[in-house]
Structure 1
Amino acid sequence: MIRTVLSLIPAEYARLTPRFLAAVVAQAICQAIAYVLLVPVLKSLFGDDQAAAWAWVAPMLVAVVGVLVLGYLQSLLGLRIGVGMQADLQTRLGDQLNTLPLGWFEGRSAAALSHVVVDDVREVQGLVAYLLAKVIAGVVVPLGVAVGMLFVDWRIAVTMFVAAPVLFAVNSIAGRLYSWSDRRIHDAAVESDTRVVEFAQAQPVLRAFGAVGARNRALDAALTGQRSAIVRMVFTAVPSLFVFTILVQAAFLVLAYVAVERVTHGPLSAAAAVALVAVGSRFIEPLTQAAQLGTTLRSGAAAVDRIAGLLAEPALPESTTPVNPGAATVGFDTVSFGYETGKPVLEDISFTVPAGTTTAIVGPSGSGKSTLLRLVARYHDVTRGRIEVGGADVREQPTVTLLGQLALVSQQVYLFNRSVIENIRVGRPDATDEEVRRAAAAARVDEIAERLPDGWDTVVGEGGASLSGGERQRISIARALLKDAPVVLLDEATSALDPHSEAVVVRGVHQLSRGKTVLVVAHRLATIAHADQILFLDGGRILERGTHDELLTAGGRYADFWNERSRAAGWRLEPAPVG
């Protein structure tokens, strides 16, 4: 664990690490020397030659001064390293998250990532600044005392050398039990954090269906699970800690017994025995302290493992060779992809979207339509084949170059807890206010701003909670309009909107798509019918392709799909007959 902690120290502070460790070890050695010198000092004070005690007091005072000076130095260095480490780790974790594939974030809890970046980093900072010195002292001081006792009484020294490994072994077993419990507590805490956030964000839905209080089963189960994990840790870790404490006290009793036995059956005086008992207590003290710090230390070790695990996640391979994209085309060449090995989602997909044209992708749910769009934006790398944007393989383009060509409008719109105008400006941060408002007007966001209490400066809430689905979608389209990218990836999301919102969003989509290369997962019949090319996808394969008229004439799967949609579009509720 210590090796892993040291590997996380930033290079800027790594030069301080040898001095820090040297100060910690030197302080522990000074402590051990001061404890061992208690024997001749106490022996002289309780014996007949009290004046001889002063000969031992001087080196003992030097050792005590060394403990104080080195303690101050190691505390100062530990704090500097810990604080610098906290800032650096959070920056490194942020940079690491920026290099991971976008698909890595799908299905991962934001609460879990927040826990690692905030809570775990803070815990590791405390581990370095405060606990690491005590851990090292807990090993060096007892070892130093045992070595020093070889020059006083070898039997006492042997007792110490036998006791220390036994105690460390028991402590190690307790550590493994605690680590197992801590992982369960961490998982339970993440689950409960996630449910609490959901509980806060989804109040309208929860209240509408009466899922509040005890009836919110998911939240109640998560909180119950967290309590159960803590209780299990108590019943797992506390007994081992209790056993360790008993063994520590037993070791002290054995040391006291050996000292007394040397008085009654050996050459040691009663004064020497008292001195040895006092030194024995100093030998035991760091071990007891290690047991008391064990819970915090093992929790810190688990935090270190989670941070190291996140930093070790394989980054998306990034091309460093500049690429100048050509015409805004999109091409798939025998592409296959699966989220899991042996379970393909797409197989042998090949098609081209010429610049300035629209290709609609239709098919049943689960056929791989949205996955196809995500692969263009390189959420994941393909298993086989290649995808080209602007005439170049997406894997050979720097991320900035690739994403600079794409505007993605998805079903899941996320708005930041900022103002309306700031949320639109995300599309192009260097845009002027006039450019932002022009894009907003094209998406009819100006109508939204007029209704809001603070207009364009109204904060929309976390995830855009204060806006309707249609209003959030309009802001998303305004972002894409502001970016003005040549290729538009559109996962059309109008099916859940009311007729007015749908009409407004559709007009914004038409404005966004004008003159652009569009790849759209289509649901609306009008979007499908006016596409330059239609791909019917099912089971991860393209079963049919062509224009709307060509596919209707063929009378295949697409024709069936179109007829079903047409019938559904004309479906309406009729009043029940009376009488």
Structure 2
Amino acid sequence: MCSTADAPTPSSGLQSFLRLWRVAGPCRGRLVRGIVFRFLQSMALGASTMVVIWVLTGLADGRDMTAAWAWQATGIMALSLVAQMAFSFLSVRDTWTASYEAAGTLRLFLLDHLRRLPMGFHLSARRGDTLTVLTSDMQTVEMFLSDTLPRLAQALGLPVSLFVFLCFRDLTVALLSVVSLAVAVPFFVWSSRRLAALSVRRQDSQADAGARMIEFVRGMPVIRAFNGLDRAGRTFREALDRFHDISVSMVRALTVPLAGFASLVMAGVPLVIAGSATLFLSGSMDTGTLLSVLVLLLTMYAPILGLVAVMELTRLADASLARMDRIVQSPPMAEAAQPAEPQGFGVSFDRVSFAYEPQNPVLRDVSFEAPERAMIAVVGPSGSGKSTLLNLVSRFWDVDAGAVRIGGVDVRDLAPERLAGLMTVVFQDVYLFRGTIFDNIALGRPGATMEQVREAARAAQALDFIMALPEGFSTPVGEGGATLSGGERQRISIARALLKDAPVVLMDEATAAIDAINECALQEALAALVRDRTLIVVAHKLSTIRAADRILVLDAGRIVEEGTHDGLLAREGLYARLWHRRVSAEGWTIGDASS
């Protein structure tokens, strides 16, 4: 697969064409065959046209129509038709197959690159924009390979064959026929270059409209709950209006260049007629040749005008490729040239500082040890950096200063696959994939048996509600787990993490949606889990982590306290205040009970 990062934006039409041609990669050989077949199809059409000329000029020269001559003309016309059908089939077979394979390779290349990009890219990029690159932009490039390139060959095949025919009839007239093309092509290249930025803006507007549509559909429950249908619909319409306006602007910008190109091309018609008439009147051209020129003239120029549409499709495809470049040119997270192997699975932070934005640090000089077979809990007010701490262990981001180590090895020196295999994460925002409950739990260990999945579900306190469902483990969960409650999705996520059986387990608010009855059972499961693993738990529900070996208290990105539950309560510090708030909150009621 060739790189698509040659240039961030489209430039000249020729450069656009070459960049798109390189996308075909190893499929270029098959694509060339398909283009050649389409060229031959067009030339076969030219052969039938030349048969007509042959008959007309023969009759004009006074030749008598004979049966043999009629059969010859008919046979050639029949062969021309068969050749057109055969070459069309061969062209479609090769170009479409090659375009699908090339587009599939490009999609896999982009998905692999997206997989290696830091989480910052995915959070800053709109989901709809990336989706548009992988769908409509990819389809535009695919159509360029499967349809636009063959149309280019088809537009040239007939004029080339007719030009060769004219060269044999009269070289002077043949040369006159290409004078207008010699002037029109540079004009078109110059005008096309001016439309490059407009093409990218059009594709960006289309992506923005797509993003708004996704946001409108996915946010429908919130929109309806807050009576925001009119406001959300207006935002979507505004995005569509911007797409409409830029499309209209593009059409208007194309009008003058395209009309100028067409006028210059068709200027060849009066030029050739004038030249042919001069030669005929001077006696340098016979009647048959003059008749040939008059019949062929419009047939020769009409397909060339079709190149306008071909070149503009090339421009749109190159604009799509430029948008893909934005993904390709985003640097992936650095990988160690010689990955190290951890010695154990203890986790340590060594003077770690990190900020999503340089002026707003989230963690400041954080250091701690999470030994093997220990449960470390992280608590603190909202925004204190708890989830960020887990993200750095997972290497969703890289630290700005200091180091995060697993088994004594900096996570940046571990191979990505090795790091992923060392840990499992239970996220605060649970996402389940389209499929069954079994599929989503088994994601933690591909090839897991039903019994292994059942045991993981039992340990996560999910087995009872799963078996109560009509189809049990075969129950579809819908996109994102829409058919399950928040607590059920969370327990499925915990079961998935338990099944993976990784030595390092990170849990981010994993019990937030667990009821009090199941919370006790889950605490027992966590206690059993920590016997063979390193467990780091972020929790707002402090009751969940009372039995933690050590509790870290974060505030404003710093560790302000650490110790056991009882020890931290005795200090009467931030942890004690958080605990007392939690205890008093359990007794809250709505309204005054005495009134």
Q: TM class, shorter-chain normalised?
A: 0.7 to 0.9
Q: Matches of residues 193-272 of structure 1 in structure 2 within 5 Å? A: 193-199=214-220, 202=221, 205=222, 207-211=224-228, 215=229, 217-218=231-232, 220-251=233-264, 254-262=267-275
CA displacement at 1:500 relative to structure 2: 4.3
Match status 1:184 vs 2:205? yes
Q: Matches of residues 407-422 of structure 1 in structure 2 within 5 Å? A: 407-422=424-439
CA distance in 2, matches of 1:315, 1:76: 37
CA distance in 1, matches of 2:115, 2:503: 24
1:523 maps to which of 535, 540, 565: 540
Match status 1:152 vs 2:172? yes
The 3 A distance-change label for structure 1 pair 558 and 277 is farther
Does 414-423 or 267-276 show the bigger shift? 267-276
Match of 1:169 in 2: 190
Residue identity matched to 2:505: V
- 1:121-164 deviations in Å (ceiling 9; x for gaps): 34433321221122356578779988977932455543331123
CA distance in 2, matches of 1:72, 1:362: 67
Match of 2:588 in 1: 571
CA distance in 2, matches of 1:279, 1:169: 29
Match of 1:491 in 2: 508
Q: Matches of residues 126-141 of structure 1 in structure 2 within 5 Å? A: 126-135=143-152
Match status 1:401 vs 2:397? no
Match of 2:396 in 1: 379
Residue identity matched to 2:382: S
CA contact (8 A) 1:38 1:275 kept: no
The 3 A distance-change label for structure 1 pair 171 and 140 is farther
CA distance in 2, matches of 1:176, 1:327: 54
3-state SS of the aligned residue for 2:172? coil
3-state SS of the aligned residue for 2:356? coil
TM-score (structure 1 length as normaliser): 0.81
Residue identity matched to 2:171: F
Match status 1:105 vs 2:118? no
CA distance in 1, matches of 2:172, 2:17: 33
CA displacement at 1:330 relative to structure 2: 0.3
CA contact (8 A) 1:256 1:277 kept: no
- 1:395-414 deviations in Å (ceiling 9; x for gaps): 22223322222121121111
CA distance in 1, matches of 2:54, 2:118: 66
- 1:171-217 deviations in Å (ceiling 9; x for gaps): 44456534422321122123213422443xx4xx5555455xxx253
CA distance in 2, matches of 1:239, 1:272: 42
Residue identity matched to 2:106: L
Q: Matches of residues 63-78 of structure 1 in structure 2 within 5 Å? A: 68=84, 73-78=90-95
Could you list the runs of 5+ residues in structure 1 that have no partner in the other structure?
A: none
CA contact (8 A) 2:428 2:510 kept: yes
CA distance in 1, matches of 2:190, 2:337: 50
3-state SS of the aligned residue for 1:356? coil
Match of 1:9 in 2: 24
CA displacement at 1:374 relative to structure 2: 0.9
CA displacement at 1:293 relative to structure 2: 4.4
3-state SS of the aligned residue for 2:372? coil
CA distance in 1, matches of 2:576, 2:547: 15
TM-score (structure 2 length as normaliser): 0.79
Q: Matches of residues 317-466 of structure 1 in structure 2 within 5 Å? A: 317-319=334-336, 324-341=341-358, 343-466=360-483
CA contact (8 A) 1:495 1:523 kept: yes
Match of 2:8 in 1: none
3-state SS of the aligned residue for 1:325? coil
CA distance in 2, matches of 1:517, 1:427: 17
Residue identity matched to 2:260: L
- 1:261-288 deviations in Å (ceiling 9; x for gaps): 4467666668766655555434532342
Does 254-263 or 452-461 show the bigger shift? 254-263
CA contact (8 A) 1:460 1:466 kept: yes
Q: Matches of residues 11-160 of structure 1 in structure 2 within 5 Å? A: 11=26, 13-17=27-31, 19=33, 68=84, 73-102=90-119, 104-106=121-123, 108-135=125-152, 151-153=171-173, 156-160=177-181
The 3 A distance-change label for structure 1 pair 324 and 164 is closer
The 3 A distance-change label for structure 1 pair 259 and 486 is closer
- 1:468-527 deviations in Å (ceiling 9; x for gaps): 111111111222222222222111244455544555554544444455322122212234
CA contact (8 A) 1:376 1:387 kept: yes
CA distance in 1, matches of 2:360, 2:241: 36
Match of 1:535 in 2: 552
CA displacement at 1:233 relative to structure 2: 3.6
Does 225-234 or 421-430 show the bigger shift? 225-234
CA distance in 2, matches of 1:151, 1:368: 80
The 3 A distance-change label for structure 1 pair 496 and 422 is closer
The 3 A distance-change label for structure 1 pair 231 and 35 is farther
CA contact (8 A) 2:19 2:318 kept: no
Residue identity matched to 1:231: H
Residue identity matched to 1:192: M
Match of 2:4 in 1: none
CA displacement at 1:381 relative to structure 2: 2.2
Identity value in percent: 32
CA contact (8 A) 1:359 1:533 kept: yes
CA distance in 2, matches of 1:248, 1:290: 10
CA contact (8 A) 2:375 2:536 kept: yes
Match status 1:481 vs 2:501? no
